[in-house]
Amino acid sequence: MEGAQAVREALGADVPVHELFVTPDATERHPDLVDAARTAGVRVVPVTDRAAASLSDTVTPQGLVAVCDLLDVPVETALAARPALVAVLVGVSDPGNAGTVIRVADAAGAGAVLLAGDTVDPHNGKAVRASTGSVFHLPLARDRAAGAVLDACRSAGLTLLAADGRGELDLHGPRAADVLRSPTAWIFGGEAHGLPPELAAAADHRVRVPIHGRAESLNLATAAAVCLYASAQHRSR
């Protein structure tokens, strides 16, 4: 995990942190993080700027890199507490989008994020940074078998809602209210092609976000925010 925010969240989470590599400049800028790491028994390793750059995948490294255990768990473990709101990403290839949806799901009170099919690894550095630490706040699970992920959600008592621009159910329509009050797994497809037709058909409802202006569509993260917050709003009433 790279950067001050990710390291701070990692140190405060229930995940083992094994080492913290830190440059002299980063030590001066973030003495609290270095002290917190040492207090937690994490091995702190001073490194040069050049060494930190070799560990980084960013253009301007922050000089803080933590080595942690992997965060993902089996799908059944992520759903064991029977969360009332879950986000499912299917075939999402852009790590920035995946990390942003994880952040949105966390903010909306979701109980898990499931990554199905050929979706990007949530441990990708860009995904972690885009999540601003939310990867540490809720269970993440991965499974290449997207159909099995949907079956697991249904078995956990979740209504399956596919975000689909051509869906038969209008998110803001009167018929949506009762649907949105039920425990829900929102299913979001990849950036270019959306959900595969067979997975959209497997959902209980296909839900469209109405477009009132001239925009062709919403991007993935924006649509996910609208949908997840709609569920959160209806469940809080």
For the chain, percent of residues with pLDDT exceeding 90: 81
- 49 — phi, psi (to 5°)? -60, -40
Q: H/E element holding 227?
A: helix 220-236
* Full-model pTM: 0.91
Q: Between 193 and 134, where is the model more confident?
A: 134
Residues making up the chain, counted from first to last: 237
Assign residue 133 a region (left: φ > 0; alpha: ψ between -120 and 50; beta: otherwise).
Answer: left
Q: Which residues partner with 65 through β-bridges?
A: 2, 21
Fold agreement between 4-68 and 75-236: no
Token readout for 202 is: 């497997």
Q: How far apart are the first and last CA of the chain?
A: 38
Opening angle at CA 95, ends 225 and 6, nearest 5: 85
Locate the domains of the chain by residue range: 4-68, 75-236
pLDDT band at 235 (very low <50, low <70, confident <90, very high): confident
What number does CATH give the domain 4-68?
Answer: 3.30.1330.30
Strand arrangement, sheet containing 64-68? 43-46, 17-22, 64-68
pLDDT per residue as tens digits for the range 90-105: 999 999 999 999 999 9
Superfamily of domain 75-236: SPOUT methyltransferase, trefoil knot domain (3.40.1280.10)
- Residue 237 above 80 pLDDT? no
pLDDT per residue as tens digits for the range 156-167: 999 999 999 889
Is-contact 167 70, C-beta < 8 A?
Answer: no
The CB density around residue 222, as the number of other CB atoms within 10 Å, is 13
Which residue type sits at 144?
Answer: R
Average pLDDT of the residues in 185-196: 90
